[in-house]
Amino acid sequence: MRKNFRIQEKTLVLRPEISEEPREGYFARIEKILVDLYFEKEKLSLIDDWEYDQIIENLVEQFRIDAAKLVRYAKRREVKKIFVNKIHQWQIG
């Protein structure tokens, strides 16, 4: 399988499912999207840290985020500490 590619217009990247990922029926929950976007940011350099933080900030202000589901999925992806810190930042801000 080829692991290097160039991102062009309409590029689609498919990733395998992670067990116990948060979803409702066929749709990903916001908690899954936040954690997965963190990985895409790191792997593909699609957005920088500031942009990612802005996306999270906007979503937290507009939607209900289930912290328990977010932390559980982040733990499965081995980034629990990062998201626990982010949750603390949201509570302070």
Beta carbons of 55 and 33 less than 8 angstroms apart: no
Going by pLDDT thresholds of 50, 70 and 90, the confidence category of residue 39 is: confident
Angle, alpha carbons 81-31-23 (nearest 5°)? 130
As given in the structure block, the two tokens for residue 38 are: 């963190």
Residue 72 has what pLDDT?
Answer: 93
Helix (H, G, I), strand (E, B) or coil at 24: strand
Domain ranges, ordered by start, for the chain = 25-92
Closest CA to 13 of 37, 47, 48: 37
pLDDT over 90 at 81, yes or no: yes
Instruction: Specify the higher pLDDT residue, 18 or 80.
Output: 80
Write down the pTM of the prediction: 0.76
